């Protein structure tokens, strides 16, 4: 059986780490370099860092700060936020980022992504699918830039894998983000049954049981943790945290 990955997903606002609830109300949780050093000691599988403001504020990734973070990380390091051009990808790979996570660029300029995949390989690009349930209708891909994504979730996932050649998907439930109530297992299973590339489940993890279910019942290849990675418990203080892998192994 392939190793199931558990990945801290850190949100960065341009100055420090924050945590959101349903993509709103970011709360400061600490310094990214300090967090990365702690995760080194805890021997985490991978690390994801998302700059949640870069694209919204129409600014480039802060390559100097990202280089500092990547140099401290002793594990595979993925970054997303503000990546718009082929040169942005090239700079990130050069400074030590192993995977670049794309989201709004998928709608804005998919040809850039195709070129990067051709030159660096499918494994170097992860597509993040933000999704939520609207007031009326079914759960669908969501876009902060206001574009209507004219795909169902499964159609979108297949477009990313087959048409753009992306090597991994990250499924981010907006409705579950920061709630500690568990992943969206229904959507995770739905996407896993429709694509043949690895899937990272993200949004809502609050317990070891949630991790076990998403990894061994829906059979996701990886699970990202947000609140569990930066808080001691729900409603309690900041504590850079990582679950004991022994407790997450399938029984």
The residues annotated with a catalytic role in the active site are 130
Instruction: Please check whether residue 123 is in contact with residue 100, taking contact to mean a CB–CB distance below 8 angstroms.
Output: no
The alpha helices in 110-249, defined as continuous H runs, are 110-120, 153-158, 185-192, 208-212, 227-230
- Give the 3-state secondary structure of residue 6: strand
Find where tokens 């040169």 sit.
Answer: 87
Instruction: Quote the crossing angle between the two packed helices 86-94 and 63-72, to the nearest 10°.
Output: 30
d(CA 50, CA 144): 15
Find where tokens 């700079």 sit.
Answer: 91
DSSP state of 25: E
Closest to 78 measured CA to CA, from 242, 203, 228, 222: 222
Closest to 225 measured CA to CA, from 250, 247, 212, 206: 206
d(CA 50, CA 102): 10
Closest to 34 measured CA to CA, from 46, 56, 17, 18: 17
């Amino acid at each position: 059986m392939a190793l199931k990955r558990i990945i801290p997903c850190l949100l960065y606002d341009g100055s420090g780490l924050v945590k959101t609830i349903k993509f709103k109300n970011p709360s400061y949780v600490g310094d990214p370099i300090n967090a990365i050093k702690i995760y080194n000691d805890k021997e985490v599988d991978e690390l994801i860092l998302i700059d949640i403001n870069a694209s919204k504020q129409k600014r480039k990734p802060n390559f100097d700060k990202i280089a500092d973070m990547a140099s401290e990380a002793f594990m595979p390091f993925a970054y997303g936020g503000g990546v718009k051009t082929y040169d942005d990808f090239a700079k990130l790979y050069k400074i030590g980022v192993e995977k670049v996570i794309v989201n709004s660029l998928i709608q804005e300029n998919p040809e850039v992504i195709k070129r990067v995949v051709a030159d660096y390989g499918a494994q170097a690009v992860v597509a993040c699918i933000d999704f939520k349930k609207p007031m009326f209708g079914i759960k669908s891909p969501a876009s902060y830039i206001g574009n209507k994504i004219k795909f169902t979730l499964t159609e979108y996932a297949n477009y990313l894998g087959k048409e753009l050649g992306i090597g991994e998907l990250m499924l981010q439930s907006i409705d579950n983000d920061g709630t500690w109530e568990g992943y969206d297992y229904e959507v995770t299973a739905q996407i896993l049954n429709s694509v043949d590339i690895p899937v990272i489940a993200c949004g809502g993890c609050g317990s070891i049981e949630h991790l076990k279910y998403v990894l061994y019942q829906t059979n996701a290849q990886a699970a990202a943790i947000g609140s569990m990675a930066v808080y001691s418990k729900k409603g309690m203080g900041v504590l850079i945290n990582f679950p004991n892998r022994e407790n997450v192994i399938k029984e």
